[in-house]
Structure 1
Amino acid sequence: MTTPSPSADPSPLFDAAERAAVYRAIALRRDMRHFMPSPPLPDELLERLLQAAHAAPSVGLMQPWRFMRLSSPAWRERLFPIVEAERQRTAAALDERGAEFLRLKVEGLRDCAELLAVVLAPDDGTVFGRLSQPREMAWCSAACAVQNLWLAARAENLGLGWVSMFDPPELARALALPEGAEPLGLLCLGPVPRFYDQPMLEETGWRHARPLREMLMAPPPL
């Protein structure tokens, strides 16, 4: 992946404290669902966070991410039923765990300081690095931008939650997206009452993370 040239300190080396801060932000990042009702974020803070997202690597420098600010009460009310309908469909698909699922808080659309949509832009024809996986590499690039935003938000002591429960065509129509664009998520962003000690699904006993050793695959013999 290709990363735009940074515009920060010209020294490329991290000292021990800076290195520790990066690893700490990664370790303490959480997918947040509980937010404190708050005023909109200052414009300069929101721009700083979006600049962090925009510094993400992207295949062929295609930068396929687009962000849409949807923080007004009218937009929240417009989008909430779309998310709620998918929440109900998810519960139905979970069979015996459906009632347990419905007790979980899965979004903060009405509570967060800012609500953003992350959208995959129409294909711009980039071939470099994505000839065999054109859509997949666009998705991966956009996901890198969200991860940058997530880590920057955590460093600013703000929570971020990625809401993926929606019908993509319905949300695309609601946002009047151009042909070829598709929504990837609704991002709830803002102050939180506390950061979860563990990922929320672990705290609630829904699921537990697996150790790194289970994710390491041995190559076949040559």
Structure 2
Amino acid sequence: MRPDDLERGLVPAHEFSDDHKIAVYRAIETRRDVRDQFLDEPLSDALVEKLLRAAHAAPSVGFMQPWNFTLVTDEAVRQRAWEAFSRANAEAAEMFGEEQQVLYRSLKLEGIRKAPLSICVTCDPTRGGDVVLGRTHNPRMDVYSTVCAIQNLWLAARAEGIGVGWVSIFHDADIRDILAIPEHIEIVAWLCVGKVDMLYDEPELAVKGWRQRLPLEELVFRDRWGEK
């Protein structure tokens, strides 16, 4: 390291130890979308703050940090959200063929009522101003940055033994009304968060026959689309 590197804010980029590498990959490989395995136990404020700090450490285009996190613990608010989800879920079931409908309806999607905490993650597209470094040619980069924050939170939660479930089946207007979210703010995710003592060894939708993981080699191209 050159003497002036520290003055420029640079620090050595050391490779992680083998134990730390194993821990990182284990969190990635064993992360699950939890739908029904939440325990009826509260989360401490300190633990929730750790998860939020992990989310807030995510990369963001132009360092705009467009995310907000609305913590929902009030039972009445969660009940309204569950009712909104239930209406949308019934509509979603009708969109599948008859055989898939049976399997769809058998899936337990009780996270909103069972998890002690919900977090509505939103994106504020105005936070970086009218022109944001890195978003000049792709206006969706702010949302992609917000999704990175969600992934950070999810992996930190896995390391802490905390389950997370992403609820996406709802009408935007319903959640916007329930949480009084301004029109210019984009709703990205409703996360159910809580302690778990059991997780599926493989993704639940794979275990229950909805879909299986695609082979990686089918998804990797070299130099141009479709070239293996």
Q: Structure 1 length as normaliser, TM-score?
A: 0.90
Distance, in Å, in 1 between the alignment partners of 2:63 and 2:18 is: 30
Q: CA deviation at 1:126?
A: 4.2
- Letter aligned with residue 19 of structure 2: A
Q: What is the alpha-carbon distance in structure 1 between the residues aligned to residue 38 and residue 170 of structure 2?
A: 23
Deviations 1:8-59 (A, max 9, x none): x987441111111101111111111123332321111100010000000011
Match of 1:127 in 2: 132
CA contact (8 A) 1:164 1:186 kept: yes
Q: CA deviation at 1:182?
A: 1.9
Q: Which whole-Å deviations, capped at 9, do the CAs of 1:68-95 have from their partners, x for residues lacking one?
A: 0111211111111111111111101113
Selected match of 2:81 from 79, 82, 85: 79
Structure 2 counterparts to residues 16-31 of structure 1, below 5 A: 16-31=18-33
Larger Rg: 2
Which segments of structure 1 move beyond 6 Å, counting only runs of 4 or more? Answer: none
Q: How many residues align?
A: 212
Is the CA contact 1:60–1:126 (under 8 Å) kept in the aligned structure 2? no
The answer to whether residue 108 in structure 2 is matched with residue 105 in structure 1 is: yes
CA distance in 2, matches of 1:52, 1:214: 32
Over the aligned positions, Cα root-mean-square deviation in angstroms equals 1.8
- After superposition, residues 61-80 of structure 1 pair within 5 angstroms as 61-80=63-82
The alpha-carbon distance between structure 1 residues 131 and 189, as it changes in their structure 2 partners (threshold 3 A), is: same
Contact kept in structure 1, 2:164 and 2:193, CA below 8 Å: yes
Using the alignment, how far apart are the partners of 1:74 and 1:180 within structure 2? 25
Q: 1:178 to 1:12 in 2, by over 3 A?
A: farther
Please, which moves more after superposition, 192-201 or 32-41?
32-41
Instruction: Tell me the residue number matched to 2:5.
Output: none
Q: Percent identity?
A: 42
Corresponding residue for residue 3 of structure 2: none
Select the residue among 148, 154, 165 that pairs with 1:150: 154
CA distance in 2, matches of 1:127, 1:107: 39
Equivalence for 2:143: 139
* Residues 121-180 of structure 1 deviation map (CA, whole Å, 9 limit, x = unaligned): 24233421111111x211110110000000000000111011111111221122111231
**Corresponding residue SS for 1:208:** coil
What letter is aligned with 2:103?
A: E
CA distance in 1, matches of 2:219, 2:143: 22
Q: Which residue of 1 aligns with 2:121?
A: 118
Q: Matched residues in 1 for 2:172 and 2:131: separation?
A: 24
Residue 172 of structure 1 contacts residue 182 of structure 1 at CA under 8 Å; is this kept in 2? Answer: no
TM-score, length basis structure 2: 0.87
Q: Which amino acid aligns with 1:54?
A: H
Cα contact 1:34–1:192 (8 A) shared by 2: no
User: Contact 1:35–1:192 (CA<8 Å) still a contact in 2?
Assistant: yes
- In structure 2, the partner of 1:4 is none
Residue 196 of structure 2, aligned match among 192, 196, 199: 192
For 2:59, the equivalent position in structure 1 comes to 57
- SS of the aligned residue for 2:221 comes to coil
Answer with 199-208 or 117-126: which moved more.
Answer: 117-126
